[in-house]
A = this chain, B = another copy of it.
Amino acid sequence: MLRSHTCGELTIANVNQSVTLCGWVYHTREMGGVTFVDLRDRYGITQLVFNSESDISLGDKAKMLGREYVIRIIGKVVERSNKNLKIPTGEIEIIASSLEVLNASITPPFTLDDETDGGDELRMKYRYLDLRRSVIKNNLLNRHKVAKAVREYLDGQGFADIETPFLIKSTPEGARDFVVPSRVNKGEFYALPQSPQTFKQLLMVSGFDRYYQIVRCFRDEDLRADRQPEFTQIDCEMAFVEQEDILQMFEGMVKHVFKKVRNMELGAFPRITYSDALKYYGNDKPDMRFDMLLHDVTDLVKGKGFKALDDAEYSGAIAVPGAAEYTRKQTDELTEFVKRPQIGAKGLIYIKYLKDGSFKSSVDKFYTELDLKKWAEATESKPGDLILLISGELFVARRALSELRLEMGSRLGLRNKDVYKPLWVLDFPLLERDKETGGWMACHHPFTSWKVEDERFFETAPGQIRANAYDFVLNGVELSSGSIRIHDRKKQEKMFKAIGLSKEEAEQKFSFILNAFEYGAPPHGGIAFGFDRFCSMIVSNQENIRDFIAFPKNNAGRDTMIDTPDGISDLQLKELGIRLEPE
């Protein structure tokens, strides 16, 4: 080793030892003939002292050091007079007796502190420098800790980590596949997996019983903020289980990880059905850190001559605690907020339930004090609360109320960064309408089984069939999805038919799994966690995926550091038997 110690380990116990350290010059300062250098490595920072009075040439050399130079020094550990108790090495410093520059550095294009002056673009182009910032460095080290805790738990529960292939087959369901042209089989393509779904099911057919993998997946999606074309999944499957077994098993996993990584104990995870989640929170991944439930007041508000509400499919309201004193400017702001195109409400009605028990509202023209009193009761409001009402199409109005609820939660400081509220959402629908084609498509994926009692809806109302599907949600963020699978060929064929896959397509793309179900497929089910998001939520309690991926792509799917995607040579194209379409 080029060093005897790291920059994070020397303490008062090492005083008088001769040591060799390597690292990066983080900060330097000169004070009366002495140069102080904060030497940084992955493990910490140690203060070096170069004294020009005792060694001029050494002192001169130290003065030449620039930011981010890589150096190696020999020196003696001494107690500091001016201690820094904020860092583990803050009680000592090293009196350097020798200095070797292992590599120089030109000046970094941005500062490498936690609060950097580098914009996103610059940070991404020089990601190898951005990764030196301790906040990003710690994110990645914590990501490893999360992976380790996950493996520890699943290994302990008898799950086998089995690798599945990356060069697989393009299938017509779900998002778009990335494809890989085959040179050896010209004109043919592999596809990169969107998930190892069918392979993990085959492993259950093989009898592996409990499988997991922390595995890269790929989706060629259209660009959206914070979506990565490649992402990592904790992928799991179990045989001979029912839904309850899976919920228990993975509730245990999440608890284990929180204990190991954050030293936090999470209590039992509450559960809610998909339909209740929509009813009370307006979406299927409610943030449970605060209540402020949606109340359906559709019928209550009708019949007083206010056309917008009289005609509405749905009117819903939330009671915002203690916000009755909101000014006109503030309520106008909220109206603007819900009318933004991405939220899409037509307007916002407010009722201030004043401390003195009186009401002041934007609909005083149509509703009496007594009417509003009933609204207050219906929304369980107390004097001092602000009641906010949105009406319109059920789907749109609920979604808008959900956004408004989250916004009010944030404004009122109810979405505390130190609080975690886990939740299972159950009984998702099996099928939903494809907006483009109008046909039915799988809500989760086409290998999901359904509730036996809903079988009858296949002919009459496919949208009403409930799947044996569940999501794990944390503070409003969906961290995992899973389901009990189909393990019967006939049922699988029925599902393929329901989503409009012809017998021929089903056979061409999925014959391997249809066939596998004929050779003794056991009942099985599983779950997959979005690992990038999982890490981000556990470590920072916010969705900030890019800061938890070592080398992420930007929103255009580009890695600007290595500059890819990129052209390839004509020879490569020729060998692959493909040609570029002219623009």
Task: Give the CA-CA distance A190 to B551 in the complex, in Å.
Answer: 14
B163→A566 contact, CB < 8 A: no
Task: Give the CA-CA distance A43 to B512 in the complex, in Å.
Answer: 26
- Tell me how many chains of this kind the complex includes: 2
Q: Does A178 reach chain B (CB closer than 8 Å)? A: yes
A221's closest neighbor in chain B, by CB?
B184
A164→B551 contact, CB < 8 A: yes
Which segment of A30-38, A239-247, A379-387 sits at the interface? A239-247
Taking CB atoms, residues of chain B closer than 8 Å to A144 are: 160-162
Which segment of A200-208, A321-329, A348-356, A450-458 sits at the interface? A200-208
Q: Does A78 reach chain B (CB closer than 8 Å)? A: no
Expressed in whole angstroms, the minimum distance between the Cβ of A498 and any Cβ of chain B is: 21
Task: Give the CA-CA distance A106 to B489 in the complex, in Å.
Answer: 12
Interface size on A, residues (CB 8 A): 125
Given contacts A199-B550, A579-B578, contact A241 B1 (CB under 8 A): yes
B166→A216 contact, CB < 8 A: yes
B176→A70 contact, CB < 8 A: no
A520→B557 contact, CB < 8 A: no
A560's closest neighbor in chain B, by CB?
B512
Most chain B CB neighbours (cut-off 10 Å) among A69, A70, A172: A70
- Chain A window 208-223, contacts with chain B (Cβ cutoff 8 Å), 1 for yes, 0 for no: 1100000010101011
- Chain A window 158-199, contacts with chain B (Cβ cutoff 8 Å), 1 for yes, 0 for no: 001111111111101000111111111111111110000011
Q: Does A442 reach chain B (CB closer than 8 Å)? A: no
**Quick one: which of B205, B523, B572 contacts A179, CB cutoff 8 A?**
B572
Given contacts A207-B131, A567-B187, A567-B188, contact A103 B488 (CB under 8 A): yes
- Chain A window 321-353, contacts with chain B (Cβ cutoff 8 Å), 1 for yes, 0 for no: 000000000000000000000000000000000
Given contacts A24-B207, A131-B207, A187-B580, contact A168 B564 (CB under 8 A): yes
A134's closest neighbor in chain B, by CB?
B207
Q: Does A568 reach chain B (CB closer than 8 Å)? A: yes
B166→A561 contact, CB < 8 A: no
A580's closest neighbor in chain B, by CB?
B187
Task: Give the CA-CA distance A70 to B206 in the complex, in Å.
Answer: 11
Task: Give the CA-CA distance A565 to B167 in the complex, in Å.
Answer: 8
Q: Does A373 reach chain B (CB closer than 8 Å)? A: no
Q: Does A232 reach chain B (CB closer than 8 Å)? A: yes
B207→A192 contact, CB < 8 A: no
Which segment of A147-155, A280-288, A394-402 sits at the interface? A147-155
**Quick one: which of B131, B162, B218 contacts A550, CB cutoff 8 A?**
B162
The 14 sampled A-B contact pairs (Cβ below 8 Å) are A2-B240, A2-B242, A3-B240, A6-B209, A41-B209, A68-B519, A143-B162, A144-B160, A147-B161, A148-B151, A148-B161, A179-B180, A189-B565, A574-B581
